[in-house]
Chain A
Amino acid sequence: MEISFSSEENHFREECRQWLEANVPSERRPHDAADAIDFDKAWQRRLFDAGWAGINWPTEYGGRGLSIVQQVIWLEEYAKAHAPWIGANFVGNNHGGPTLILNASDEQKAYHLPRILKGEAIWCQGFSEPGAGSDLAGIKTMGRVEDDEIVVNGSKIWTSFAHVADWQELVLRTEEGSQRQRGLSWAICDMHAPGITIRPIRKISGQTEFAQVFYDDVRIPIANVVGGLGNGWKIAMSTLSFERGTGFIAEQVKHGQRIEELIELARANGMIKDDRIAGSLAQMRAEVAAVRAMTYRNISEVVRLGQPGPEASVIRLFSAELGQRLERMGVLLRGGDILDFRYESGDEAVGDYLRGFAATIAGGSAQIQRDIIGERLLGLPKSR
């Protein structure tokens, strides 16, 4: 075991640092998704042009083909440089793209992957439904196969960036009468297709970042199905396990920046003299260090074994809950000023705190994660 990086990796880190120092935009990412989309696309394009998009994606599809360790180094420097959140490009970069790399045909990869990396195509996710949240296998959205097309009817919800997206990773039922995990397919849905209606939903933080999507006889070519008709569950799980494994490294890295800001703030306003606050900050600083250690362990396992180990779900859960405690401390340290928060005020501390409640709901709730840990890591009997 070792924590030192190789000289090649240290050199790469220096390159990241220098580029970020010269290129991180000074203006803040706009507050609302509709305004932020141009910003997000432009920033993604700039990253791509400079060779910082898809660091560990295959070179034939526009990536750099570098190691996952270099990807982590980039994300560490990205957080340290206070570079903007990738926003609308999140799903393409962190779910859709990686799923395509693992499962898609050469044609599908050749078309979509470079567009994601260049910021030309925004992706959204279509998994949850009004009646299928944690119980993902309860999906009802139906795709009737007609010749070389699927005709889709139904609805998806909590779809982040739906109203600015070009494509959607859509999981739907393509076998009439099929139950649970069987008969599902994973398809690439054109969000501009006729029959799609998007109803934006406002979040508790004021943004309308997510939406409900309705499908009324929407036609998707069968050529857009990834991994073959009826294999949707398997493909969806590859995305979810990715998400629980390495998809949230950026979030884990960000905690390191956040805790230092909080300690600085508590020193500046004198609240650190309160032993309970000092104690909690000390505790969280230790936990943030442990998240980094867990991420490194997880990455080392990916390098050694080709995939994240079973403890990946532990990091996802612990990091999400730690993030929420950090944001709660951020709000506590602000005192009564948080009462001046308005949806339009762009107060990031309160916005991050409120948005952060999603971390233990989206991509598998904390309760589902605890089931997985209990059942897969400890061998307890399955509850469902």
Chain B
Amino acid sequence: MDLTPNDDQIAFQTATADWCRDNMPLEQSRARPTGLWAEVEAMGWTAMTGAELGLDHATEALVFAELGRVLAPVALLSTAVAGRWTGVAGKVALALEAGSGVRLLDSEGATHALGLIDGAIGWFAIDDAVEAVDSLDLSSSIARIDRPAGVERIEDPRAAFHLQLLAAAFAVGCADAARDMAADYARVREQFQRPIGWFQAIKHMCADMAVRSAVARSQLYFAACALDEGDVELPFHVAAAKRLAEQSALENGGDNIQVHGGIGMTDEAYPHLCLKRAHLLKFVAPVEDAVLLAN
């Protein structure tokens, strides 16, 4: 038993964070440069757990938390799952069930989409003429299509847990980003001749953000190991990780806006980007109470 990253894992984590800082900062998330996806694919993050590299999900979860922190493109989730469990190469859009149809997220340049359809995880080809518009999450486009006819199901049950785990990792990163943004602002913004972080009303709100982040990250590590080790309680642990991560992303997202005050209400500032991403992630491999209560 060891729930601290080893030296190799820390190296992957640090390398990801460094690359993101230089090439894919959160501040650019609503208008990523064209050609970014090709660079991202070249970094190998969507192929980490595939047959060729064969890395563990624990390392992958650490890396995806770093990617989530900069609100990296959401198709990384679907593409990484496709890379591990299907033969599909290239960008794979994220598919979310929407009543009688399907929403495709981040579909530019994608040939296929992957998601949970009718309670099972599967993938299908998409028409490149599909028209995408802006979505609530300003980092991702959205396209509404009819329910696809030819969905290929992925038989291995681990694929759905993989998607849920990566979505949890993204949410953990998103919650961390909101926490850090709030704490950074509370250290420098002054009112009543003091940094607002001096006041316990603000300090304790930031502390609660740190608690949520730490809780969610801990369960993420446990769930990633459960997937690697084929733990008998795998469905529960991944669901718990996803539930806690999406909640921490949502609540930290809201609190970050509150700590920023008026500036947090502006389109120009960044806090709303985390909140909006959190709402999107809630719909990726959503968690049912029944799974959390199952024996």
Enumerate chain A interface residues (CB-CB to B < 8 A). Answer: 1-5, 9, 69, 263, 272, 275, 278-279, 281-283, 285-287, 289-294, 296-297, 299-301, 303-304, 311, 314-315, 317-318, 367, 369-371, 373-375, 377-383
C-alpha gap A287/B208 in the complex (Å): 15
C-alpha gap A135/B187 in the complex (Å): 24
Which residue of chain B is the closest to A266 with respect to CB atoms? Answer: B293
Contacts of B6 in A (CB 8 A): 1
Indicate the member of A69, A304, A318, A369 with the most B CB atoms within 10 Å: A318
Contact B240 A381 (CB under 8 A): no
Is B292 in the interface zone, CB < 8 Å from A? Answer: yes
Contact B3 A1 (CB under 8 A): yes
Indicate the member of B9, B194, B243 with the most A CB atoms within 10 Å: B243
Contact A290 B215 (CB under 8 A): yes
Q: In which size bucket is the chain B interface?
A: 35 or more
Contact A1 B289 (CB under 8 A): no
Contacts of A275 in B (CB 8 A): 289
Which residue of chain A is the closest to B182 with respect to CB atoms? Answer: A378
Contact A379 B187 (CB under 8 A): yes
Closest Cβ of chain A to B76, distance in Å, is 21
Contact A367 B200 (CB under 8 A): yes
C-alpha gap A26/B71 in the complex (Å): 55
Contact B183 A379 (CB under 8 A): yes
Known: A1-B221, A380-B197. A297 touches B4 (CB 8 A): yes
Identify the stretch in B22-30, B120-128, B141-149, B229-237 within 8 Å (CB) of chain A at 4 or more residues: B229-237
Contacts of B214 in A (CB 8 A): 294, 311, 314-315, 318
Contacts of B222 in A (CB 8 A): 3, 289-290, 292-293, 296
Contact B240 A383 (CB under 8 A): no
Contact A1 B2 (CB under 8 A): yes
Contacts of A282 in B (CB 8 A): 243, 289-290, 292-293
C-alpha gap A374/B206 in the complex (Å): 6
Contact A381 B187 (CB under 8 A): yes
Contact A318 B215 (CB under 8 A): yes
Contacts of A69 in B (CB 8 A): 1
A sample of 9 more A-B contacts (CB under 8 A), given A380-B183, A381-B198, is: A1-B9, A3-B225, A275-B289, A297-B3, A317-B211, A318-B211, A371-B204, A373-B207, A383-B199
13 A-B interface contacts by CB (under 8 A): A1-B225, A263-B293, A318-B214, A369-B207, A371-B200, A374-B197, A378-B179, A378-B186, A378-B206, A378-B207, A380-B183, A380-B186, A381-B195
Contact B293 A380 (CB under 8 A): no
CB within 8 Å of A: which B209-231 residues? 210-211, 214-216, 218-219, 221-222, 224-226, 228-229, 231
Contact A293 B206 (CB under 8 A): no
Contact B224 A374 (CB under 8 A): no
CB within 8 Å of A: which B64-114 residues? none
Closest Cβ of chain B to A268, distance in Å, is 14
Within the complex, which residue of B3, B199, B237 is in contact with A296, where a contact is CB–CB below 8 Å? B3
Closest Cβ of chain B to A266, distance in Å, is 9
Known: A2-B1, A378-B206. A287 touches B244 (CB 8 A): yes
Which residue of chain A is the closest to B220 with respect to CB atoms? Answer: A293
Is B203 in the interface zone, CB < 8 Å from A? Answer: yes
Within the complex, which residue of A2, A287, A314, A380 is in contact with B206, where a contact is CB–CB below 8 Å? A380
Closest Cβ of chain B to A295, distance in Å, is 9
Contact B224 A1 (CB under 8 A): yes
Within the complex, which residue of A286, A299, A375 is in contact with B203, where a contact is CB–CB below 8 Å? A375
Within the complex, which residue of A278, A299, A300 is in contact with B289, where a contact is CB–CB below 8 Å? A278
Closest Cβ of chain A to B7, distance in Å, is 11
Contact B187 A4 (CB under 8 A): no
Closest Cβ of chain B to A134, distance in Å, is 12
Closest 5 CB pairs of A and B: A380-B197, A286-B240, A282-B292, A374-B203, A293-B222
Indicate the member of A282, A382, A383 with the most B CB atoms within 10 Å: A282
Contacts of A315 in B (CB 8 A): 214
Contacts of B231 in A (CB 8 A): 3
Contacts of B1 in A (CB 8 A): 2-5, 9, 69, 296, 299-300
Contacts of B274 in A (CB 8 A): none
Contact B4 A300 (CB under 8 A): yes
Contact A4 B219 (CB under 8 A): no
Contacts of B199 in A (CB 8 A): 383
Which residue of chain A is the closest to B225 with respect to CB atoms? Answer: A3
Contact B207 A374 (CB under 8 A): yes
C-alpha gap A318/B209 in the complex (Å): 12
C-alpha gap A370/B293 in the complex (Å): 31
Closest Cβ of chain B to A236, distance in Å, is 23
Known: A370-B200, A374-B207, A378-B206. A289 touches B237 (CB 8 A): yes
Known: A286-B219, A380-B187. A1 touches B5 (CB 8 A): yes
Contacts of B224 in A (CB 8 A): 1
Within the complex, which residue of B211, B221, B236, B243 is in contact with A373, where a contact is CB–CB below 8 Å? B211
Closest Cβ of chain A to B203, distance in Å, is 4
Contacts of B280 in A (CB 8 A): none
Contacts of B237 in A (CB 8 A): 289
Contacts of B292 in A (CB 8 A): 282-283, 285-286
Contacts of A373 in B (CB 8 A): 207, 210-211
C-alpha gap A289/B287 in the complex (Å): 15
C-alpha gap A9/B1 in the complex (Å): 9
C-alpha gap A10/B166 in the complex (Å): 30
